[in-house]
């Protein structure tokens, strides 16, 4: 095709190449899911349908990019996709990778919604959308610590949310009272409050809630102790 005199505007596009030889994380996160989850009346703190929907979307992204993928890990409204350090996907263009992953994830979320929420139609004014970013990690240590960081975050958030919502839903606390009760407590104290006030042993909570979801390159979904498994998960990379 002949070049037009307008062609020069292309020069304004910036090249956004991720550093060579680095592991790439693509993390997507639901936009304003606090409101989204309340509009669609998600069970609090963990709606199983919504978590399974996230996992199904993540699995399809993993399988689509299987040869570049090491694993994916998700909790709540977020998922992290970890790519090999030698990937040449889209010539390592950060904008291509971030936008294609998030749009594939979002279109899956809409397409699969009805499978997980059969009696809840999506409302045009409350459609799901996600943000996305790419992060480069230079060493195996860093990438293992990244996945461990998200895993620990799942644990901290889930323990807090579990006790908080039990106090509110089962023990008649107001949200403010529950917040005050938990303020400044460490993990063991939260587990003790859950046990003594609500009669619940945190250990017996669902593995998916406590541990998040790990998607392997073959598309298997596990709810495992990432910290214990971290060396195995990255063996060979
Ligand atoms: P932002 O746009 O900045 O990400 P956000 O409202 O999405 O804002 P997050 O920190 O991402 O904030 O938190 C996501 C929120 O979505 C959680 O706090 C929780 O209220 C809700 N949520 C996500 N997944 C579920 C689920 N499976 N069950 C119940 N609530 C959920
Ligand atoms: P890339 O992933 O690199 O963008 P691509 O196949 O999408 O690859 P484009 O240069 O974006 O390549 O071209 C989009 C192509 O999609 C067009 O060449 C055309 O074949 C097809 N296409 C897009 N919109 C229409 C349409 N409305 N009707 C028919 N064909 C269309
Ligand atoms: Mg956020
Ligand atoms: Mg969010
Ligand atoms: Mg989030
Ligand atoms: Mg195109």
Q: 3-state SS string over 103-145?
A: HHHHHHHHHHHHHHCCCCCCCCCCCCCEEEEEEEECCHHHHHH
Pairing of strands 213-216, 221-222: antiparallel
State the total domains in the chain. Answer: 1
Q: Which atom of ligand 1 is nearest to the CA of 51?
A: 27
42 appears as a binding residue in the annotation: no
Say if ligand 1 is within 6 A of residue 65 CB.
no
Domain-embedded: residue 11:
no
Instruction: State the angle between helix axes of 187-198 and 140-169 in degrees (0 to 180), rounded to the nearest 10.
Output: 30
Domain-embedded: residue 217:
yes
d(CA 75, ligand 2 centre) in Å? 35
Say if ligand 1 is within 6 A of residue 49 CB.
no
**Domain with 20 in it: what CATH number?**
3.30.70.3000
| ipTM of the complex in this document | 0.96
Model confidence, pTM: 0.96
Determine the structural domain holding residue 129 and report its residue range. 16-155+213-233
Spell out the per-residue pLDDT of the chain, length 237, in tens: 678 999 999 999 988 999 999 999 999 999 999 999 999 999 999 999 999 999 999 999 999 999 999 999 999 999 999 999 999 999 999 999 999 999 999 999 999 999 999 999 999 999 999 999 999 999 999 999 999 999 999 999 999 999 999 999 999 999 999 999 999 999 999 999 999 999 999 999 999 999 999 999 999 999 999 999 999 999 999
Residues 209 and 50: beta-carbon distance below 8 Å: no
Say if ligand 1 is within 6 A of residue 153 CB.
no
Among 28, 32, 77, name the best residue to mutate to test ligand 1's pocket (greatest count of ligand atoms within 8 A of Cβ): 77
Q: How far is CA 188 from CA 46, 130, 180, 200, 201, in A?
A: 21, 34, 17, 13, 12
């Amino acid at each position: 095709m002949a070049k037009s005199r307008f062609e020069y505007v292309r020069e304004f596009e910036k090249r956004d190449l991720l550093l060579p030889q680095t592991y790439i994380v693509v993390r997507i996160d639901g936009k304003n899911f606090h409101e989204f989850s309340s509009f669609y009346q998600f069970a609090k703190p963990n709606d199983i349908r919504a978590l399974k929907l996230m996992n199904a979307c993540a699995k399809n992204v993993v399988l689509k990019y299987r040869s570049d993928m090491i694993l994916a890990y998700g909790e709540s409204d977020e998922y992290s996709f970890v790519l090999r350090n030698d990937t040449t996907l889209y010539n390592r263009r950060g904008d291509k990778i971030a936008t294609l992953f998030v749009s594939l994830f979002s279109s899956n979320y809409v397409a699969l919604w009805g499978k997980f929420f059969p009696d809840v139609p999506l409302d045009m004014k409350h459609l799901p959308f996600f943000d996305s970013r790419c992060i480069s990690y230079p060493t195996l240590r860093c990438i293992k610590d990244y996945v461990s960081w998200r895993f620990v975050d799942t644990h901290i958030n889930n323990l807090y949310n579990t006790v908080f919502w039990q106090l509110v839903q089962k023990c008649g606390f107001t949200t403010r009272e529950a917040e005050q009760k938990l303020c400044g407590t460490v993990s063991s104290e939260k587990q003790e409050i859950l046990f003594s006030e609500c009669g619940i042993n945190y250990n017996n909570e669902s593995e998916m809630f406590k541990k998040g979801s790990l998607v392997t390159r073959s598309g298997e979904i596990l709810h495992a102790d990432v910290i214990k498994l971290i060396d195995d998960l990255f063996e060979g990379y």
